[in-house]
Structure 1
Amino acid sequence: MKYLLALVLLYLTACKNPFSVQLIGSLPIDSTVYVDVYDAISGKQIASDTIAEHTFVLKIDSIRAGIYTVVFSWERDILKPTELKRYARFGEEELPRYVLSKSVWLDPKESRKYTFSISEGLDQSQLEQGLLDEDWGADLNVSSKGDNFRLYQEFSEIAKKYSLANLKAKDSLKQIIYKLNESGDLESSRLLHQQLSALWVNSLRDSLVRAEVNFLKRNIATAPAPYIFYSLVNTQNDFDNYKEVYDALSPNVKETLAKRTSVYLK
């Protein structure tokens, strides 16, 4: 009888929050870390907490499958060179924070636990210095199980791959510009500097979009595909870039997205 009662209590406990997930992990930060979780589609904050020690466990109840952005932030007392003039001029009171963020597919039916980490061996000072460096390519890692989780991670790796290629291309341009300046060829240096000021160089943005479109078309019938498409399209130009993905979506999904996409349809 006691055994049966224990089973009933266990069942009721499990059913109390059938759609909950846990975000767990460890960060080498001695400062107080603020954790915020946002629905990447609506932008609504769905959870927040603080980490007083290196390890953390954040439970989120009543969560639906979808793309969420997890943001870790903590106070900093140093400004980037690009921030100094702005703060001197406008006198903002609060300094910006160090920020680590990661978009992830959360689905309690696939997994109840998502583990976050950064590169092994990285301490707080190294991490903070890296975050101040605009060309830093380090990333916040997350591991879990589930086909849709892995699919979204694979999609995210596409942008990461091209972003790193873009950083390397910009580094190469900087070296060429430096040599041109030394040789006195200021006109060529000026033209290359215009390329350097662009967000993307060497048509890498076009290559990124093509890779993302191909990936989504191959996986168009999966649960994350409509969410990813929705998150990518914010302007008419975005819609035009990813229209092949829209065309491949099922009629039911298109109907669901109608409110968002109708303004872009010509």
Structure 2
Amino acid sequence: DPLSVTLRYYPKNVKSSGDSSSSSSENDKDKYWETYLVQGSPYLTFAYKDVTPVITPLSIFKGFTCPTSTEKDDNNDNSDDCSVVHQDDTTVTLKGTRFLLHTQENLTWMLFASKEGIVLSFDNIRKTTITSVQTFSGVLRLALVPPTISLQSSTDISDLSPTSIGVKNLLACHSNTYPVGGKVTWNVPTKGVANVHFRYTTTTLKSDSDCHSNELLMLALPHHMQVLPAEQLLSDSNLV
């Protein structure tokens, strides 16, 4: 559609249903993962069906942790968001629906899982993989926490640090609703004026939200911000 592309991938030994050369069993043909590339979404969204998610960084991970109590939305009373299953010098295993991934570049990613939750194991020796301990059927969403740059060195990537708790809470608050497609319509009410409407098809990670709102969070270019209705924009007060 005009706003998105959905890509589906099958395990190496599984062919798509349209491939007559497949030697896989009928059950294997139902195993896949897919991602929704939607313009304007600040999240990466992946849906899995009986496959094992593996997350790898461009370089290495510095850490894999649960959010602290101050990094959770005030309206969220669920203490089962994330918990430690096992931790030693070689492996960190966490289970839940919300995690923090820290990379060598001092970037922080937030990882959200659907209501079923997931158990993930971090290889603390090689520091290059975070892997589900078993096959997974559900949805994972990744969002980069926008970094700030130290005023002392605006070009050194080592000076990058996560922004305010407010940004993390904002990403967590809106992680429940995600787009899987969309369409664009328009009308011209008067000469020289056009109204453009973006309608997204959405679904949710879970039936109940950790946040007061299930509204879709999207990004816009600066010149788009100038013409968007004020009630659809987030103010700076949302980010502190």
TM bucket, shorter chain: under 0.3
**TM-score normalised per structure 2:** 0.28
Higher strand share: 2
Which has the larger Rg?
1
Flag the structure with higher helix content: 1
Length-normalised TM-score, structure 1: 0.26
